[in-house]
């Protein structure tokens, strides 16, 4: 199977009985907008700080 740079579309599952609401699709954010020229950002998740940084090869690393 060929690899593509485009992310696959998330699967939406139906919850519960017939007619139940479906899960909302996740928001897509461009990494350029998230980092704004900086090599890293801090993310406060439920009071815990995480560091998301870009490597020199353009990969992302999330650490606590």
Under 8 Å CB-to-CB from 33, ≥6 apart: which residues?
Answer: none
Nearest to 42 by CA among 52, 54, 30: 52
- The class that CATH gives domain 31-63 is mainly beta
Asked whether the predicted pLDDT for residue 1 surpasses 50, the reply is no
Nearest to 63 by CA among 43, 35, 33, 38: 43
Q: Is the pTM of this model over 0.75?
A: no
Asked whether the predicted pLDDT for residue 41 surpasses 90, the reply is yes
Domain boundaries, the chain: 31-63
């Amino acid at each position: 199977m060929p690899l593509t740079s485009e992310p696959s579309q998330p699967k939406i599952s139906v919850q519960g009985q017939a007619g139940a609401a479906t899960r909302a699709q996740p928001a897509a954010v461009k990494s350029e907008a998230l980092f704004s020229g900086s090599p890293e950002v801090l993310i406060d998740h439920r009071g815990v700080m995480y560091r998301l940084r870009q490597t020199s090869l353009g990969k992302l690393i999330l650490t606590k």
